[in-house]
Structure 1
Amino acid sequence: MNNNIAEENQNMNQELETQNEVNESEIELTGEETMEELLDIYDSSLSKFEEGQVVTGTVISVGRETVLVDVGYKSEGQISIHEFISEDGNVSVNVGDEFEVMIEVWDEEEETVLLSRDKAKKVKVWDAIKDIYDEDGTIEGVITSRVKGGFSVDIGLLAFLPGSQADLRPIRNMDEMVGQTYTFKILKYNKKRNNIVLSRRVLLENEREKMRSATLSAIENDKVMEGIVKNITEYGVFVDLGGVDGLLHITDISWGRVKHPSELFSVGDHIKVKILSFDFEKERVSLGMKQLTPDPWTTAADKYPIGSKIKGRVVSLTDYGAFIELEEGVEGLIHVSEMSWTRKIRHPSQMVAVGEQVEAVVLDLKPENRRISLGIKQTVENPWEVISQKYPVGTIIEGKIKNITEFGLFIGIDDDIDGLVHISDISWTKRIKHPSEIYKKNDTIQAVVLDIDKANERFSLGIKQTQVDPWETVAERYDVGKEISGVITNLTDFGVFVELEEGIEGLVHVSEISKENIKSPKDHYQIGETITAKVMNINSDERRIGLSIKRLNEDDDDNRYLEEIAKSSKPAASAFGEMLRSNIQEKLEAEKKENE
C-alpha cells in the first residue's frame, strides 16, 4: 500500500514537471505536505476545460486505434487514428507533434477526454470566415467538383460557388475550372446550417472596373493596344482591351478575304489591334487589325502592270467568273469570256476550281477601284489568228459532227474550233426540215470552207458546195417547149408540183392544167401520180420551172404563145431573163427551119 502511494506520488511529480512547471511562481512546496494536500494542489493546477473548447495538445503516443494527446489534464485525451490517415493510407502523425484539438467529450468523473483535430480545424476556419466576412476580405480555395447550380469549393470547409458567380461571363466548359485554385469573396455564411456562399465574379468586376478606368484614360485614335478575344460573331470579334470592349469588324480583320472570324481567332486569344474610332459617351470602340500593315493596293500598279503574267490561287467562283488571290488583300477577276478562245464557257467551274493555282495575264488595272481584270486564254496563242492561214476559203476539210441543231451542223475542226454548216448549205436540191433527217452525231463528213470571221469567231462551211449546183445546167437539160414526165409531189390550190429529177421540181399552175376552169387540182390529181407536161419557162436563179398540161399537142398555139412572150418581153434585167428570151428565140427559129 505504501509502495503504491510512493509510486503514485512519483508519477504525479513527473506529470507536474511536464506541465511546464505550472504555477511554480505561485505554489511553493515545502516537502512537508500531506498526500491529501498534494492531490488538491495537483487538481488545482490542471486546466479546466469545456466541451467544444479548442486547446493545444502534444502527441505522447501513437497506437493502432487512437492517438494520445496531452492537453494539460490529469488523463490524456484520445483522438481516433482515422483523422491522421492520408489518402495514400499512411499515418501522418508522430510523437511530439503539437497542434490544436477540440474537446469533444470531457467526463471528469470518468476522467475521459475525447478530442478531435479535424473539428478544431473547422472551428478555426469558421472563426477565420467570420473575421474575413466582417473585414470584407477574401479567401483562397480550390474548386473540388461540379454540383447542381455551380461548384463545391474547399476553403477548409466545403463552400458553394454559384455558376453565375464563377466568372464575368457564362462559362462554356465548367469542367475546366475543377481543380483550380482561386480567390473568393464570402457573400454570406451560416454556421448552424453549415452553409457558405462564395463569389469570384465580385472580385473580377472590381478588378475590371479598375482596369476600365485605366483603359479609358489611355485610349486614343490610332493607338495600338493589346486585347483578349472575348466573343466571336459572324460579323466580327469583340476584344477586351482591359475593362473596355471594342469591336473588330470582319472587314477590318485583314486586307484579304475572311469568310468567318472563327477561321482566324479563338476566344481567349491575345491580339494587337489599332484604335480606329472611340465614342466616349457611348463607350464604343472600333478596332482594326489590317491597319497595322500597309494597304497592298497602294503598290499593285507596280507589282502587276498591264500585260504581265501572274500566278494566283482561285478563292471564289461566281456565274460570271473566278476571283484569283494574287496576294493577301489583292484579288483579280477572270471573266468567263476571258477563259477560252474557242470554248463557250457557261460557268468558270468548267475551267478552274477553288484552291487551284492558275496563271493569267493582267488585262486591266484600277487600283482606285481595287479591281484587276485577268485573262487565262491570253496565256496561249489565239487559234483564230492562224485559222485562216491554215484553212483558206475554198479548202475542203473533213471532220466529225459534234452537234446538230435545227439551223445546221457543227463540225469539229481543231483547237476546239467548230465550223457551222447552215441548213441552207447542206443540199442544192433537197428540202430539209431538220439536219437530223440526213445526219447523226459523230458522222464524218466533208465540207468546203465558205468564210472565216475572226472578229466574231465564226467558221462557215458548206456541204453542198462540194458538188456542182444542178440548177446551173437545168436549162440545158430541159428545153422550153420540151415534153417531160414527172411524179406529183404536192397539190395546192394554185397548182401541181412535179418532180422532174431528184431535187428538181416544176410547177403546173392551175391555169395551165386545162382549158376548162379548174377550181382545185386536188379534184383531178393525186400525190404520187405520174403526169406529162410541157416546159414553158425556166428561172435558174429563183430555181423555178414553169410547166403546162393544157398546151400538150398544141404546137401552133404554143408557137404563137411563145412568139407573144418573146415579142412582149422587155430587155432582160437579169441573166435569167436574157437566157429565157434567148431560149424562146432559138426555139422559134428552129421550128421555122423545120417547116421550110
Structure 2
Amino acid sequence: MSEEMNMMENRDFQIGDRVKGIVDKIEEKAVTVTINGAPFDGIIPISELSSLHIEKASDSVQVGDELDLVITKVEDENYVLSKRKVDAEQAWDALETKFQTGEIIEAEVKDVVKGGLVVDLGVRGFVPASLVEDYFVESFEDYKGKVMTFKIVEMEKENNRLILSHRAVVEKEKESQKVHVMETIHPGDQLKGKVQRIASFGAFVDIGGVDGLVHISQLSHEHVDKVSDVVTEGQEVSVKVLSVDRDSERISLSIKDTLPGPWDAIEEKAPKGSVHDGTVKRLVSYGAFVEVMPGVEGLVHISQIAHKHIATPNEVLKEGQEVQVKVIEVNKADKRLSLSIKELHEKEAEQDYTEYEAPEETSGFSIRDVIGDKLKGFKSE
C-alpha cells in the first residue's frame, strides 16, 4: 500500500476519534487491539487501561475483550489509544447525577493506600480514613477486595477529584434505625442489646440503632460500686425498657429487671425455722435490719434481740456486725422476713430467792451471848 493511500486511510481515524477495539495481544505493559476498518493496529499503554494503578495489563483486560477507546496519538503506523479516558468521560456524567441525587453507590475497594481507600468507578475514587467508618479503624488491610456502599461527598471533574464516604451511608442507616426504634419500643419491652460504652453513672446499651442508658442502680439487685464490675464494652445483655422520651430521644433501661430477684423463691432459700449468718445493716429504734443474703434483709425486732430487756438495739448490736439469726416468719408478697437472735441463745437462769430459807439456829448461842461482854460496862440509869 502506497504512502499516499495510507494517508488517505488515516484521515478516517483522527486523534480524538472514538473507536472500538478487540484485544488481540496482551504484553506486560501494553495491549494490542485490532480496529475494524483501520489500516493498522492500535496500542493501549498500561497507563491508559485504567484510572487505577495496575502492575500488569492482564489485570485489566483479556484477549477477545471489546473495548471502547479514543485515539490519542498516531505514530509509526500505530494508533495510540486510551481506555481510561473513555471510561472517565462516561463515568463523570453518571457520577454527576448520583452526586446531585445523593444516590448510594456500591463498589469494590481496589486498593488500600496511606490515608484511606481507593475504588474504581470509571474514575479513581478516594475514601479518606475519617470517612470509612463512624468509629476509629486501626488498620484498613482487611478492606481490600471488600464490596462496600458509598456516597459522593465531593467531586471536581476538572481536577479529576472524587471523594467518597462510607461513613455517611452508615450514619444515614443508623438514623433510620433510630427513628424506627423510637417509634416502636414501649416501656416494659424486653430486648437484646450490646454495651457500647461505660460511664461512672451507668452503661449505654445499643438496642438496634439507638443507645439507651442503664443507670448504675439498674445493673444488679446487689449494690454496685463500679459499673465495670458488672458489664464490659461489647457485652451482649438483656434489658427491659423503663421509659421512652421521644422528644429528647432518651431511653431508660434496666438489666436488673431481667434477672431473677433476690426475693424469688425466698420460701425455699430462707424457710421458717432456718438459721442464717447475716450482717447488721441498719439500727433503728424498734430493731435491727440484717442482710441474710445479697439483696435480702430481715428485721430483728427489739424484742427478739436478747432475752433481757434492752432500751435500744445499739446496747447489744452495731452496724456491720456479723450475727446469726433464725427465720421466724416469711412474707414473700411484702418482701419481709422476721428474724430472731435471742431464739438461738439459751435463756439466762433467773435467781429465785424463794428457794432459799433462813439458816436454822443450831449453835445455841443468843445475841446476848455474843455481845454480852460489851454490855457489862453499861448500867441502867
User: After TM superposition, is the score higher than 0.5?
Assistant: yes
Could you tell me which of 40, 57, 76 is aligned with 2:21? 57
Instruction: Quote the Cα distance in structure 2 between the aligned partners of 1:362 and 1:262.
Output: 36
What residue in structure 2 maps to residue 276 of structure 1? 242
Could you tell me which of 37, 40, 49 is aligned with 1:75? 40
Name stretches of at least 5 consecutive residues in structure 1 with no aligned partner.
Answer: 1-7, 10-34, 339-345, 352-358, 386-452, 456-571, 586-596
Instruction: Quote the Cα distance in structure 1 between the aligned partners of 2:324 and 2:55.
Output: 72
Q: How does 1:289-328 map to 2 (within 5 A)?
A: 289-293=255-259, 295-309=261-275, 325=293
The change in CA–CA distance for 1:64 and 1:211 in structure 2 (over 3 A counts) is: closer
Could you tell me which of 143, 147, 152 is aligned with 2:117? 152
**Aligned-pair identity (%):** 26
CA-CA distance at 1:255 after TM superposition: 2.6
Could you tell me which of 175, 192, 216 is aligned with 2:139? 175
What residue in structure 1 maps to residue 66 of structure 2? 98
Instruction: Quote the Cα distance in structure 2 between the aligned partners of 1:71 and 1:332.
Output: 96
The change in CA–CA distance for 1:330 and 1:182 in structure 2 (over 3 A counts) is: farther
What residue in structure 1 maps to residue 128 of structure 2? 161
Instruction: Quote the Cα distance in structure 2 between the aligned partners of 1:236 and 1:66.
Output: 63
The change in CA–CA distance for 1:236 and 1:127 in structure 2 (over 3 A counts) is: same
Q: Number of aligned residue pairs: give it.
A: 327
CA contact (8 A) 2:26 2:58 kept: no
CA contact (8 A) 2:193 2:205 kept: yes
Q: How does 1:76-225 map to 2 (within 5 A)?
A: 76-80=41-45, 91-92=58-59, 94-103=62-71, 105-107=72-74, 110-118=76-84, 120-141=86-107, 142=109, 144-145=111-112, 147=114, 151-156=116-121, 157-161=124-128, 163=130, 165-168=131-134, 171-175=135-139, 179=143, 181-225=147-191
CA-CA distance at 1:186 after TM superposition: 0.8
Instruction: Quote the Cα distance in structure 1 between the aligned partners of 2:14 and 2:210.
Output: 61
SS of equivalent residue, structure 1 residue 133:
helix
CA-CA distance at 1:287 after TM superposition: 1.5
Instruction: Quote the Cα distance in structure 2 between the aligned partners of 1:245 and 1:174.
Output: 24
SS of equivalent residue, structure 2 residue 23:
strand
Instruction: Quote the Cα distance in structure 2 between the aligned partners of 1:40 and 1:194.
Output: 35
Instruction: Quote the Cα distance in structure 2 between the aligned partners of 1:119 and 1:56.
Output: 14
Per chain length, whose mean CA-contact separation is higher, i.e. which structure has more relative contact order (CA < 8 Å, sep 6+)?
2
CA contact (8 A) 1:186 1:196 kept: yes
CA contact (8 A) 2:46 2:57 kept: no
Establish whether residue 251 from structure 1 lines up as the match of residue 217 from structure 2: yes
CA-CA distance at 1:115 after TM superposition: 2.8
TM-score, length of structure 1 as denominator length: 0.43
CA contact (8 A) 2:196 2:233 kept: yes
The change in CA–CA distance for 1:255 and 1:193 in structure 2 (over 3 A counts) is: same
CA-CA distance at 1:127 after TM superposition: 4.1
Q: 1:426-465 CA distances to partner (integer Å, 9 max, x unpaired)?
A: xxxxxxxxxxxxxxxxxxxxxxxxxxx999xxxxxxxxxx
CA contact (8 A) 1:143 1:153 kept: yes
SS of equivalent residue, structure 2 residue 163:
strand
The change in CA–CA distance for 1:95 and 1:188 in structure 2 (over 3 A counts) is: closer
CA-CA distance at 1:304 after TM superposition: 0.2
CA contact (8 A) 1:231 1:237 kept: yes
What residue in structure 1 maps to residue 286 of structure 2? none
What residue in structure 2 maps to residue 403 of structure 1? none
Please tell me the residue identity of whatever aligns with 1:78: I
Name stretches of at least 5 consecutive residues in structure 2 with no aligned partner.
Answer: 282-289, 300-304, 306-317, 351-366
Q: How does 1:444-463 map to 2 (within 5 A)?
A: none
SS of equivalent residue, structure 2 residue 159:
coil
Instruction: Quote the Cα distance in structure 1 between the aligned partners of 2:373 and 2:46.
Output: 141
Instruction: Quote the Cα distance in structure 2 between the aligned partners of 1:126 and 1:265.
Output: 50
The change in CA–CA distance for 1:251 and 1:454 in structure 2 (over 3 A counts) is: farther
Q: Max radius of gyration: which structure?
A: 1
Root mean square deviation, CA, Å: 5.1
The change in CA–CA distance for 1:116 and 1:39 in structure 2 (over 3 A counts) is: closer
CA-CA distance at 1:276 after TM superposition: 1.6
Q: How does 1:516-535 map to 2 (within 5 A)?
A: none
Instruction: Quote the Cα distance in structure 1 between the aligned partners of 2:335 and 2:58.
Output: 80
CA contact (8 A) 1:144 1:178 kept: no
SS of equivalent residue, structure 2 residue 40:
coil
Instruction: Quote the Cα distance in structure 1 between the aligned partners of 2:111 and 2:374.
Output: 121
Please tell me the residue identity of whatever aligns with 2:128: L
CA contact (8 A) 1:305 1:362 kept: no
